[in-house]
Amino acid sequence: MFFGLVRNELQKTWRSRWIVFAVMAGIFVLIAGGLYIYYVVSKDRWSPPPPVAWQTTVREDIANNQQQLDFLEQAKQQPSGDATGPSKGFEPGTDLDSIIAQVQQQINDDQYLLDHNIAPVQSFSITLAALFGLGGIVMFLLLRIFGWLASEQIAGERSDRTIAILLSRPMSRNQLLLAKAVASFLISLAVVVVTFLIIYAIWAFVQGSIGPLTGDVGVAIDGSKPLRGSNLFAMPIWLFVLMCLGGAMLGVLCVQGMSLVVSAVFGRWAAIGITMAFLFGAPLVSTVVGAILFAISQDPNRAHFLNYLFVNVLAPVSALTPVFGNGPAGPSGTGMNEFGFQASVLAVWTVGFFVAAWLLFRRKQETG
């Protein structure tokens, strides 16, 4: 019986909202077409570029750093006034020694990745697609759409005066609420997976290769520090993608839980308005607060606590790498440690919202 309820909710959502999914598909097609046109114009070519192995890129970085290191070693032997190029202005002694040590450390860090066959997480099309599609602006917009759809789950039935009819059938309130939550989650999962595959195809074209699906990638434990052996968390590529997908869907669950809380209390249009105002307005307010704190303290990490408001941890994948940073957190708000902590905070918010929705829906008196 429960699976029949879920199937019924899926069918109702598709019949009433198929135009939304069609518009979303059209938008993605337009974006992909626009990116392709931009690529053709900027690169003056119609075909993908030749693929470049990540090892080649790392070896080039090592060669460039080694060249810089040799130059600095020569500059160290010269009087300060005779130094030219990059060494001009460096004082012999501690400062120049510190720069030499940093460059040498960069070489050692890159060599560690080569020796252990661990690629930086930005090296492959599929990992870039996971970072951008499951933690960037795309997920920001999808979460708002999912919140809108979830806010109608109960409020829409109430406004259409069909919820009393549903509850008159041999089903409990718990079954009805769970069926709506499961159906909403399954629809969102399908949309997220399709979106990820589209973005993966775009990145594969830009990179010139679909990239490997096996092998290891390295993620910084603390994103504010360089990627090196003591600050590196290695995992298989497929596990990294699943981790990003899990983090994205946890954010979806949290938004749906919050939307169900609103939907359990208000009518359709009020629920939609409150949900959208909160999902768009709260991040804006937190950004303004973060900017004010930065202006006062001149410390980008002073507003880091704002990341633990649920509206700012809805995409914990953004916390994995500073390339796709997560707003007011600053450089300390990145890395595996930050991802784990944000996911834990998000899980607490999610459980709290669903418990609140369950309690409110059980106490609400529904009339036909």
Question: Which residues 6+ apart lie within 8 Å of 114 measured at CB?
Answer: 55, 58, 59, 62
Give Dmax (Cα) for the chain: 91
d(CA 328, CA 287): 7
Stretch among 168-172, 242-246, 273-277, 326-330 having the lowest mean pLDDT: 326-330
User: Are residues 169 and 185 located together in one domain of the fold?
Assistant: yes
pLDDT at 190: 92
Q: Is residue 41 part of a domain?
A: yes
Are 33 and 87 in a shared domain? no
CB 166 within 8 A of CB 352: no
pLDDT band for position 364 (50/70/90)? low
Q: Of the candidates 115, 136, 155, which is a domain's last residue?
A: 115
Same domain for 200 and 308: yes
Same domain, 224 and 160: yes
Of residues 2 and 245, more confidence is placed in 245
Least confident of 224-233, 240-249, 322-331, 336-345: 322-331
Query: 282-324, pLDDT tens digit by residue?
Result: 888 878 888 888 888 877 677 777 777 767 777 788 888 754 4
Q: Is the pLDDT of residue 87 over 50?
A: no
Whether residue 279 is found in the same domain as residue 158: yes
Determine the residue type at 181: A
Does residue 234 fall inside a structural domain?
Answer: yes
Q: Is residue 368 part of a domain?
A: no
Residues 109 and 225 in one domain: no
Residue 161 confidence class, pLDDT cut points 50, 70, 90: low
Q: What is the domain range of residue 102?
A: 54-115
pLDDT category of residue 365 using cuts at 50, 70 and 90: low
* pLDDT level of residue 328 (50, 70, 90 thresholds): very low
Considering its fold, how many domains does the chain have in total? Answer: 2
Q: What is the pLDDT of residue 167?
A: 56
User: Which one of 77, 98, 115 terminates a domain?
Assistant: 115
Dig out the tokens for 287 from the structure: 């950004």
Kind and range of the H or E run holding 281: helix 268-297
* Domain edge (last residue) among 77, 100, 115: 115
Is 108 inside a domain boundary? yes
**So what's the pLDDT on residue 226?**
77
Residues 96 and 215 in one domain: no
- Alpha-carbon distance of 16 to 7, in angstroms, equals 14
Please give the mean pLDDT across all residues of the chain: 80
228/131 Cα distance (integer angstroms): 20
Q: Identify whether residues 297 and 205 lie together within a single domain.
A: yes
Provide mean pLDDT across the span 108-134. 88
- In which band, very low, low, confident or very high, does the pLDDT at 80 lie, cut at 50, 70 and 90? low
pLDDT band at 79 (very low <50, low <70, confident <90, very high): low
Same domain, 110 and 155: no
163 and 42 both lie in a single domain: yes
Q: Are residues 7 and 70 in the same domain?
A: no
Q: What is the pLDDT of residue 150?
A: 86
Contact 255, 349 (CB under 8 A): no
Among 41-45, 238-242, 275-279, name the most confident range.
238-242
What's the confidence (pLDDT) of residue 90? 42
Within this chain, do residues 239 and 140 fall inside the same structural domain, yes or no?
yes
pLDDT at 172 over 80: no
Strand partners for 119: 217
